[in-house]
């Protein structure tokens, strides 16, 4: 009986992996974006779902703020064109539904740098954000797209005070997770605390989103993740859904836009799945990809 069970499990794994290999071949046959085996290609459904954590509540209509619309936006733009020092390194959330916090922290770091003319290049604590959630859910529970900014109104400390550490399997290891801003004292580190003054939900048109990025810096955006997204490797053409089922909602950072060699408009985006996925953790996504930027949010003011 034991041997039969082991054989059955082995067969199930082989079938599941073959399905993903067939999907990769099918995507590449379209000759659009490039798919290959990534560290996430052979995760099971539950593991894939654990890497997503954006809660999209379509019953809530947030107040959209009219931001400054730039009449003549450039055809291509990266925030590093205006602010060369102000693009955060790719982060690694592991198998935790903390994308909303990571995208928020990455955006906050960039805007902190921008607001100080490149004088403050600080790594902020994602764990501090996760520990201070008002709903008191466990660390890896999902949350709304604006939640990181809402929590950061109360302040967020630097990463070295409350580090986010994962084991080789991607699970959060024991860390001094605490909402207290006094965590820095445990490491004998001088605390630096940064706060968000306010944040804006943007209108769901691309002119508004691009203008916000052009004037103020990166934004956090929602996107729908399908099975093929886990296979995204180095690419020139932007990602768009080609194969596989819908898995869940995800939060990423948008920091520019452009046009691909074949003429497809896209956003430059940063994921939080480490550097072994996509273009070193960054990726291009088709501007009109379904579900992209259904919710877009940016911090209006950051001070310390």
Q: What is the DSSP string of 186-227?
A: HTT----EEEEEEEEEEPSSHHHHHHHHHHH--EEEEEEEEG
Determine whether 271 is an active site residue.
yes
Q: How far apart are CA 72 and CA 194, in angstroms?
A: 34
Range list of H helices, 91-160: 99-115, 126-131, 147-152
Q: How far apart are CA 227 and CA 245, in angstroms?
A: 6
Q: How far apart are CA 233 and CA 37, in angstroms?
A: 8
Name the least confident of 33-47, 76-90, 189-203, 210-224: 189-203
CA 216 to chain centre: 19
Tokens 């890896």 found at: 140
pLDDT at position 4, please? 47
What is the mean predicted confidence (pLDDT) over 268-281? Answer: 97
Q: What angle do CA 137, 204, 70 make, to 5 degrees?
A: 125
Q: Is the pLDDT of residue 257 over 50?
A: yes
CATH code assigned at 278 = 3.90.70.10
Average per-residue pLDDT in the chain?
A: 87
Determine whether 250 is an active site residue.
yes
Identify the active-site residue in 86, 99, 132, 297: 99
Most confident range, picked from 15-24, 179-188, 261-270: 261-270
Q: Given CA atoms 12, 13, 18, 23 in this order, what sign does their dihedral have?
A: positive
Containing structural domain, residue 18? 2-303
What is the mean predicted confidence (pLDDT) over 121-132? Answer: 91
Identify the active-site residue in 132, 250, 268, 279: 250
pLDDT at position 10, please? 41
pLDDT class of 60 with cuts at 50, 70, 90: low
Q: Given CA atoms 17, 19, 24, 29 in this order, what sign does their dihedral have?
A: positive
Name the least confident of 90-104, 179-193, 230-244: 179-193
pLDDT at position 180, please? 62
Q: Is the pLDDT of residue 5 over 90?
A: no
DSSP string, 251-299: EEEEEEEEE-TTS-EEEEEE-SB-TTSTBTTEEEEETT-TTTTSSEEEE
Number of domains in the chain: 1
Find the farthest-apart pair of alpha carbons in the chain and give their distance in angstroms, rounded.
70
Q: Which helix (H) or strand (E) holds 300?
A: strand 296-303
Q: Is the pLDDT of residue 11 over 90?
A: no
Q: Is the pLDDT of residue 111 over 80?
A: yes
Q: How far apart are CA 240 and CA 178, in angstroms?
A: 39
Q: Which two tokens stand for residue 76?
A: 């291509």
pLDDT digits (tens, 9 = 90+) for 281-290: 999 999 999 8
Most confident range, picked from 5-14, 181-190, 198-207: 198-207
pLDDT class of 64 with cuts at 50, 70, 90: low
Q: Is the pLDDT of residue 122 over 50?
A: yes
Name the least confident of 85-99, 131-145, 212-226: 131-145
pTM of the model: 0.90
Identify the active-site residue in 143, 200, 226, 271: 271
Determine whether 81 is an active site residue.
no
pLDDT at position 8, please? 45
Name the least confident of 6-20, 32-46, 48-62, 251-265: 6-20
Name the least confident of 54-58, 100-104, 256-260, 298-302: 298-302
């Amino acid at each position: 009986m034991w041997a039969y069970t082991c054989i059955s499990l082995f067969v199930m794994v082989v079938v599941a992996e073959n399905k993903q290999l067939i999907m990769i071949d099918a995507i590449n046959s379209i000759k659009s974006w490039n798919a290959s085996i990534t560290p996430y290609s052979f995760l099971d459904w539950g593991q894939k779902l654990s890497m997503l954590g954006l809660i999209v509540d379509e019953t809530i209509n947030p107040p959209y703020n009219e931001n400054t619309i730039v009449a003549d936006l450039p055809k291509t733009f990266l925030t590093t064109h205006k602010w060369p020092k102000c693009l955060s390194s790719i982060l690694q959330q592991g198998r935790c539904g903390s994308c909303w916090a990571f995208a928020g922290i990455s955006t906050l770091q960039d805007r902190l740098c921008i607001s100080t003319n490149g004088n403050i290049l600080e790594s902020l604590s994602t764990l501090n954000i996760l520990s201070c959630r008002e709903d008191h859910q466990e660390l890896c529970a999902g949350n709304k797209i604006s939640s990181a900014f809402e929590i950061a109104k109360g302040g967020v400390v630097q990463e070295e005070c409350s580090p986010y550490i994962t084991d080789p399997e991607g699970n959060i290891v024991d860390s001094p997770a605490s909402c207290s801003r006094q965590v820095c004292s445990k490491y004998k580190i001088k605390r630096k605390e940064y706060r968000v003054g306010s944040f804006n939900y943007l209108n769901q048109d691309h002119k508004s989103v691009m203008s916000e990025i052009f004037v103020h810096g990166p934004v956090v955006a929602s996107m729908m993740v399908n099975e093929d997204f886990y296979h995204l490797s180095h690419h020139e053409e932007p990602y768009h859904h080609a194969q596989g089922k819908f898995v869940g909602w995800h939060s990423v950072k948008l920091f520019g836009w452009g046009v691909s060699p074949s003429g497809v408009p896209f956003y430059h985006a940063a994921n939080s799945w480490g550097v072994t996925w996509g273009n070193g953790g960054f990726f291009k996504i088709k501007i009109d990809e379904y579900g992209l930027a259904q919710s877009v949010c940016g911090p209006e003011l950051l001070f310390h």
